[in-house]
Amino acid sequence: MVKYFATLDSTFGALADPTRRAILASLTLGEASSRTSQASSHVLPAVMKHVRVLQNAGLVSQKKIGRTRFCGSRQLPSGKPKTGSPSTAASGKALSIP
């Protein structure tokens, strides 16, 4: 349970910054390389720092070929409930967080 909240905290922490949200939105359109930061208004070290935060949160993947890094967005897990677990709405019970 604690690991889940730590993952959730890092995800929301990564998405709290508007620059990282913009980077993630552009990566959902397709893979980008470190050379594409030259076309943006940000310098490469700043972009790569934001990408590293997104990668640590599990939202972005990176691969390095030569001196070029390629970044892409990861598939987010679906929010479907696990089978066999009772729904809180169906059972009429509220979810309690310790």
Q: What does the alpha-carbon distance between residue 52 and residue 73 come to, in Å, rounded to a whole number?
A: 12
| pLDDT at 39 (0 to 100) | 56
Backbone phi, then psi, for 71, in 5-degree steps? -120, 145
pLDDT score at 69: 85
**Averages of pLDDT over each 10 residues, the chain, 98 residues:** 73 91 87 66 84 92 88 68 44 39
Of 21, 7, 11, 10, which Cα lies nearest the Cα of 50?
21
Classify domain 2-73 at the CATH topology level: Arc Repressor Mutant, subunit A (1.10.10)
What pLDDT sits at residue 18?
92
- List the Cα angle 16/23/9 in 5-degree steps: 30
The pLDDT, as a whole number, for residue 7 is: 78
User: What's the pTM?
Assistant: 0.65
Put the strands of the sheet holding 32-33 in their side by side order: 32-33, 68-73, 60-65
